[in-house]
Amino acid sequence: MTVRRGPILREGSQGQPDSSEPDAPAPSFNKRPHADAEMARVLRTKPVSMAKDSSSGAITFWKHDPLHDVVGAMADHVIMAFPGAPSRFERRSGKEHVTGTARSGTVTVIPAGSTSRWDIFQPLTVVQLYLPQTTLLRVAAEAGMAGPDDLVERTANPDLITSRLLLSAVGALDGSAVLDSLFRHQLTDLVATRLLAAYSGSFSRPVPIIGGLSPKILARAIERLRSDVDADLSLSALASDAALSRFHFCRAFKESTGVSPHAWLRQHRLEQAMQMLRETDDSILSIAAALGYASQTAFAAAFKKLTGESPSVWRTRVRK
C-alpha cells in the first residue's frame, strides 16, 4: 500500500482541486446514515446476503462492480475483509492519497464519521461488518479495556486474525434465525475486542479470564440451549442467566466445553435433525420448520455442510 500526501487533482483539472474530494464537515452523529444504507447507495446493488439487528449491527456479503464515488460519513464503523480475487484501489481523504490492493488476509477499517473518495478498478467480493459505536463501548466495558479513542482508519491492512474472523461469516449463516443470531453476536464481540486492541488510539488488551463456568451455571446454560426452538437463546439471555456479561460468558463457556455457544447449539441441532430423520417419517420440510430453519432449502444446505450428505440421502442410508 502506498500513501501520498498533497493536493488531489482531477485529470485535466488545470490545477484546480477535485470537486469530488470530501472536504465538507461531517454531519452530526445522529444525522449520519447507517452503513447499510450508505453502502447500498454507493455500490448500486443489493448484498448477496445480510444479517442484522439493532443491538449488534450487521454482517453483509457483497459482490459489486468497479466503484468510483465518495463514501459519506456513516453512523457505524465499517470493517471489511476480502475472500475473492485481488482488486486494485485508490482512496483519497483530504490531502491523503492511498493506493493498494484489497486481497485475502487484509482488512479495511472505516471509522464512523469519516469520508473518502474511493476508486476500485475491478469487481470486488467483500464481507463487511457494520459496528455501532454503542457496541464498541459495551465490549470495552465488559472486557475491562480502556474506552476507545477514535478508531484508526486502515486500508487493505495485512491482518490475518481479523480477516479470518470476518470471513468465517461466509459459511456460518445458514438460515436458522437462532443460530445466525447467536453467531452474529459472538462474531461482533470478537471483532470489537480485536479493534479495541489493534485499531484504537488507546492501546488495550482484555482482562484475561481464568476458569470456566461453575457446574451449576454450565448445566443451566446447556438446559437453555436444549430448550424449545421458540425459547430465547440469544447471547444476551444466556449471559444474563449466568449473571455475566456477553463477553465473559462466551469465554467461560468455551473454557468449560471447548466450543463456543454457537458451535455447541449447531451440533445439538444437527443431532436433533439426525434423530428425527432416523426415527420418524416426518417430511424434510416439517423437520426444517421444527428446528427453526427459514426453509427446507436452508436446512438441507446446512445439514449437507456438516455431514456431506443431503437429509434425504442420509435418511435413506441409515435406514437400510
Q: Please report the domains of the chain, with CATH numbers, ordered by start residue.
A: 25-198 (2.60.120.10), 215-318 (1.10.10.60)
pLDDT of 180 strictly over 60: yes
Strand partners, 129: 59, 79
Q: Residue 49: which of 30, 67, 65, 36 has the closest Cα?
A: 36
Strand partners, 50: 60
pLDDT of 70 strictly over 70: yes
Contact 73, 60 (CB under 8 A): no
Q: Note if the pTM is more than 0.85.
A: no
Q: Which comes out higher in pLDDT, residue 312 or 56?
A: 312
- For 224-269, write each residue's pLDDT tens digit: 999 876 788 889 999 999 999 888 899 899 999 999 999 999 999 9
Contact 229, 288 (CB under 8 A): no
Q: Which residues are CB-contacts of 200 (< 8 A; sequence separation ≥ 6)?
A: 146, 148, 149, 151, 152
- For 147-177, write each residue's pLDDT tens digit: 666 789 999 999 999 999 999 888 777 778 8
Contact 116, 71 (CB under 8 A): yes
pLDDT for the residue 17: 38
